[in-house]
Amino acid sequence: MQLVFLDRLNLAYKDYGYVDKDFEIALDLVIIQKSLFTINKSKLNVSVGDIVILKDAPIHYIGIVERLEVADKHRTTVHVLDFKEMFSIDIPVESYTGDLSLYLENMLVGNFKQSNDPLQNLSYLTIERGSSVQGELSFEPDKIMSLASVMELITKSYGLRLTTEAVYLRGRVTGIIFRIGEVQRGIKLKNNYQAIQDLVVNDSSSQMVNKLTYYPKLENVLFKTTLVYYLLTNGELTQDIHHPHRYMSVKPKAFYYTDNDYPTLLTKARSEMIASKLDHNITFTIKSDNDVFQPMKNIELGDFVEFVNNEQTYDSVVTSIKFSQGFHKAMVTLGEYRIKLTEKIQLLNKSVNSAMSHISIQSTGITDLDGGEF
């Protein structure tokens, strides 16, 4: 298995090394994780920011060099970020209603294919759109936000999957395809499935919020109505207090709103309750030789999973996949709650930075299509 290093601007070959068995590939939808590879060279013609591609491996992996560390006189440890961190650039965002997969495609093309800055454009990058989903994004005025954060909001809330794959021509990497597709749905996994090992289930200390009440501020001139939203067991929102799919155990939360807040209240309610619904942490290792759940093959980050643990059922999302010292098994995390202190701090900082960013789902379904190529 080789780690091939390519120039960020044009994918020109720079160097390579054979990967030691002591490696870890870490992919995470919630927090930034680093993958570690130790290779059989102490000197490399490599710069921070260069592209790395794992070759002759059973999974596709593309990343960005974050740091190089000499392990000993014969080896170097390479710290690598996921390729999607390439899109961690700040951009102005505006509210939008329409096809969000097209919106995402246009943002990527505008910033990395047709940017006014030629050094920011990536000629080797191809954007392929294979799904369509209608929805609404609502942001505060004059909002600057990371493109990667916008991508996360859209994919997590609308069921879109983002994957990368290298293009080869006679053994040489000539391009990278970035695909916008549909997540896997309807996957049901039970805690007694024979391929699962080391299962740990943690709920946060907070009960899931399933009722939100918005009270008008006394200073309001235009809007003076109290609005209540209820989360249903199928993930939808309603204002019908008697809806048969409401949660039997009510966990309410309340806020005041201003006249300016009123148009985005549904958006804010959905953001609040979706985050609450994923506030659990289910981790397990799973053997790769099973026929149902194969991480980085038929299961990717963002895929929806219904996990049954004894009498409790979790409607969850695959948020982390890790391989360590081989591909015979993978460690998987479902849900957004994190146990480690360093990960909790990352989540807290992320929550503060995006506190004014919200997303709303108008569920009209996802449609497969033959996407355009740029």
Domain assignments of the chain as residue spans, ordered by start? 2-83, 88-182, 184-204+279-353, 211-275
Least confident range of 140-149, 244-253, 346-355, 360-369: 360-369
Least confident range of 156-160, 266-270, 326-330: 156-160
> For domain 184-204+279-353, is the CATH number 2.40.30?
yes
Residue 337 banded pLDDT, cuts 50, 70, 90: low
Residues 6+ apart with CB under 8 A from 119: 9
Angle at 34 between CA 180 and CA 17, to 5 degrees: 95
Measuring CA to CA, which residue among 213, 356, 353 is closest to residue 273?
213
Residue 361 banded pLDDT, cuts 50, 70, 90: very low
Q: How far apart are CA 320 and CA 166, in angstroms?
A: 22
Say what the pLDDT of residue 346 is: 44
Q: Same topology for domains 88-182 and 184-204+279-353, yes or no?
A: no
Say what the pLDDT of residue 278 is: 66
Mean pLDDT of 329-346: 66
CATH class in words for 88-182: alpha beta
Residues 6+ apart with CB under 8 A from 19: 1, 2, 3, 37, 38, 39, 54
Residue 268 banded pLDDT, cuts 50, 70, 90: confident
Least confident range of 86-100, 135-149, 293-307: 135-149
What are the φ and ψ backbone dihedral angles of 291, each rounded to 5 degrees? -105, 0
User: What Rg do the C-alpha atoms of the chain give, in angstroms?
Assistant: 22
Mean pLDDT of 330-355: 57
